[in-house]
Amino acid sequence: MLVGAQSYAQTKGADLKRLSSVELQWEDSPGAFMYEVEIFNSKNKRLKKFVSKTSLFKFKSTSGKIKIRGRILDAYGKKGLWSEIIETTVPPDDIKFPQGDNKPIDAKANNSTLKGKIKLDWPEGIQAKHYLIKIYDKDNKVVLEKTVSGMSGTFDLDIGTYQYSVTPIGNDFIAGKEIMSPKKIEIGSAQLPDERFEVVRGPSLQIKMPKKPGLEIYGELEYAHHMAEDWTPVLKYTPFAEAVWSPEKKLKPGRYRVGFWVRRTGWVDSSKFNHEFVVKPTEAEIADTISRP
């Protein structure tokens, strides 16, 4: 009686077709002299027929789903009944990353896309038709998952530190073992691009804020007396959440400079946008100044 089938992948350079190895174990049966096995693929096409004198049986196969049945032969060549069909799978070979080369894969984030582009490559998995790539963040959470047909691929990632794994996928979409790469991925920060702060001129000064997901706007208002170049902080916006900025009411007369920049976690702040304006005294303030002794 055929009691089980285990499969595992092995590399054999001399094979014209690089195949996976399958190992079958018979249950010892009294009176059994030989064992006969038939192997079928998932479409019921017979692939191989074997006769063995031992209960441990090995053969080469493509990856995918296979079906197996067996029977015993006694010393006189009399054959027993076929066993029930046993279905099993043959996964592709495990990925084997080179040892000793653990230098991180690094890239700088792009100022326009706000992501860093990296190229990953990996060794061949014997009998693999596709490869499932998973990228994990520092909290071991999958942030990107992609299936590719070759042994390399490009990926766009946010700033941070990552690890990645490769799972070979064979015929009938049978997956092998997920193997973690020994190399880490490092996406470094870059300076955020300058954003457009639109100054609207009219009866009152207005500055329109840019709107982009994931970005916060910070700013500050400064004051300088007349032609002095020493600027004194007046207000800070941490962050500024409105769509439009206008000068606060009841600012004392003088020169003002308002500045805004954008911020995103892990990035260098954008350059500061500055705009100067003057608050003139009202007629009442002028009259009050003149009337003073």
Any domain includes 292: no
Confidence at residue 8, expressed as pLDDT on a 0 to 100 scale: 35
Residues 181 and 205 in one domain: no
Residues 162 and 81 in one domain: no
Query: Domain end: 59, 90, 121, which one?
Result: 90
Any domain includes 95: no
DSSP 36-80: EEEEEETTS-EEEEEEESSSEEEEEE-SEEEEEEEEEE-TT--B-
Confidence at residue 16, expressed as pLDDT on a 0 to 100 scale: 32
Compute the C-alpha angle 95/96/101, nearest 5°.
Answer: 130
CATH number at residue 111: 2.60.40.10
Asked if 275 and 199 count as a contact pair (C-beta separation under 8 A), the reply is yes
CATH number at residue 249: 2.60.40
Helix or strand or coil: residue 285? Answer: helix
Confidence at residue 52, expressed as pLDDT on a 0 to 100 scale: 85
Any domain includes 203: yes
Query: Domain end: 188, 210, 229, which one?
Result: 188
Confidence at residue 290, expressed as pLDDT on a 0 to 100 scale: 60
Number of helices (H) and strands (E), helices first, in the chain? 1, 21
Confidence at residue 42, expressed as pLDDT on a 0 to 100 scale: 87
Residues 131 and 184 in one domain: yes
Confidence at residue 163, expressed as pLDDT on a 0 to 100 scale: 97
How far is Cα 48 from Cα 55, in angstroms, rounded to an integer? Answer: 17
Any domain includes 132: yes
Maximal C-alpha separation, the chain: 135
- The total number of structural domains that make up the chain: 3
Any domain includes 99: no
Residues 283 and 202 in one domain: yes
**Residue with the two structure tokens 């190895």:** 21
Instruction: Please give the share of the chain, as a percent, with pLDDT higher than 90.
Output: 51
- Segments forming the whole domain that contains residue 121: 105-188
Confidence at residue 12, expressed as pLDDT on a 0 to 100 scale: 33
How far is Cα 192 from Cα 208, in angstroms, rounded to an integer? Answer: 19
Write the CB contacts of 189 (distance below 8 Å, at least 6 apart in sequence). 108, 109, 159, 266, 267, 268
Residues 252 and 231 in one domain: yes
**Residue with the two structure tokens 């009050």:** 288
Query: Domain end: 163, 188, 213, which one?
Result: 188
CB atoms within 10 A of CB 275: 14
Any domain includes 96: no
Residues 70 and 28 in one domain: yes
Any domain includes 133: yes
* Residue at 51: amino acid letter: V
Write the CB contacts of 286 (distance below 8 Å, at least 6 apart in sequence). none
Any domain includes 97: no
Question: How far is residue 238 from each of residues 216, 243, 255, 265, measured CA to CA in Å?
Answer: 9, 14, 22, 14
Confidence at residue 15, expressed as pLDDT on a 0 to 100 scale: 34
Confidence at residue 61, expressed as pLDDT on a 0 to 100 scale: 80
Confidence at residue 243, expressed as pLDDT on a 0 to 100 scale: 95
pLDDT tens over the chain, length 293 residues: 444 444 333 333 333 346 677 777 777 777 888 889 999 988 899 988 888 888 787 877 888 999 999 898 998 889 999 989 989 898 998 999 988 878 999 998 887 777 899 999 999 998 999 999 999 999 999 999 999 999 999 999 998 999 999 999 999 999 999 999 999 999 988 788 889 999 998 888 999 999 888 899 999 999 998 777 789 999 999 999 999 999 998 898 889 999 999 998 878 899 999 999 999 887 666 666 566 66
Asked if 119 and 104 count as a contact pair (C-beta separation under 8 A), the reply is no
